[in-house]
Amino acid sequence: MFASYSFIVLAWGLLLAPVADAADPGATETLAGVRRIDFKETGASLPEIHIGPGLSTTVLFDSPIRPDEVVLEGRERFQRLGMSEDHLVLIPSSTFRQGEQLRLEVRFHDGAAPERAAFRLVVDAARVERQVEIYRQPRTAESYRQEVEELKSGMARLRQEVGRLQRSNASSGDSDSWIATLAIMGDIVDKTLTYGRADSSAPVSVTEAKLLRLPGRWVALCVVLKWRGRAGGWTAATAALRDAQGQSMRVLRPWQQGPVSIKGVQNVVIAIEDEAAFQPGRYTLKLLDEGGGTSVTLEGLAVP
């Protein structure tokens, strides 16, 4: 959970600022920087590598592999596939569909433990990882130093973006714009969620619900509310989140830039305290104003 709280503060700092021009749609197709996976720290689950049609992903290994023993599900559907003893280059074809998952398995040349390494390739055109480094041996101090430098560089870009947005006079009601901005600046996943029913005793209506996630660090829900009253405003003061079995999830106090009012829409962000407990399933989310007099309830909120 390294830097989880500080990154939430940075992300919400971006939300606080007015959003300028909508982000370039093509900018979210790839993730900048290098992804590093320490295979000894991945646990029982298969590490995921995100790929996209027509875009190359290079996987580098710190130990020689056997190219002739690489197992790649759907190999014949790849537009190009390059292999050597220290790297793979994967270029999926347009036959792959969003969300498809494929198994990739390699065998190391020296026969030492672990003898093999397996990964899950996930087709996700919005989050293609262009370079992934796999560490089977203990990482060097230089490797960690490079990662720290990349993090510092990314934080500097975030600060510059915050300053740019604060100088902008554009509308702050465009949720797609600020989510796209966050996606460009970091490895943040956003996904529109479906729900069965929305009830509101408050003078607001729900226009959209989203899941925001920085994998391995934090996860949050975002509910976009639109004013439907004549005067005044509405602010979510507390939130309650329950799973399908009625168990409560620990969440932080809702955040929004200001009251929902006749001026337009507002994004209400609810951060989940325990990411591990927030499993896929259906949830009920209830937002209440100060004092609990009025509320907004989403039932059957489907979290993938």
Are residues 293 and 210 located together in one domain of the fold? yes
Domain boundary among 86, 119, 136: 136
Bigger pLDDT: 203 vs 148: 203
CATH number for the domain that contains residue 247: 2.60.40.10
Task: Look at the chain and report how many structural domains it folds into.
Answer: 2
Residue at 162 is within a domain: no
Residue 246, judged by CB atoms within 10 A of its CB (0-12, 13-18, 19+), counts as exposed
**Residue 25 backbone dihedrals phi, psi, to 5 degrees:** -55, -35
pLDDT value, residue 70: 95
Are residues 59 and 35 located together in one domain of the fold? yes
User: Residue 274 carries which side chain, given as an amino acid letter?
Assistant: D
Helix, strand, or coil here: 173? coil
Residue at 157 is within a domain: no
Q: pLDDT > 90: what percent of the chain?
A: 44
Torsion of CA 159, 161, 162, 164, to 10 degrees: 130
Residue with tokens 């970091």: 186
Residue at 152 is within a domain: no
Domain with 99, as residue range(s), is 26-136
Q: Is the model's pLDDT at 194 over the cut of 90?
A: yes
Bigger pLDDT: 197 vs 258: 197
> Does the pTM exceed 0.75?
no
Residue at 141 is within a domain: no
Mean pLDDT of 20-28: 33
Q: Is the model's pLDDT at 4 over the cut of 60?
A: no
pLDDT value, residue 265: 83
- Cβ neighbors of 68 (< 8 A, separation 6 or more) are none
pLDDT value, residue 36: 84
Mean pLDDT over each residue of the chain, to the nearest integer? 78
| Rounded CA Rg of the chain | 22
Q: Quote the CA–CA distance of 288 and 18 in Å, as a whole number.
A: 25
pLDDT digits (tens, 9 = 90+) for 79-116: 999 999 999 999 999 999 988 999 999 999 887 778 88
Domain boundary among 76, 110, 136: 136
Residue at 256 is within a domain: yes
Residue at 296 is within a domain: yes
Are residues 299 and 176 located together in one domain of the fold? yes
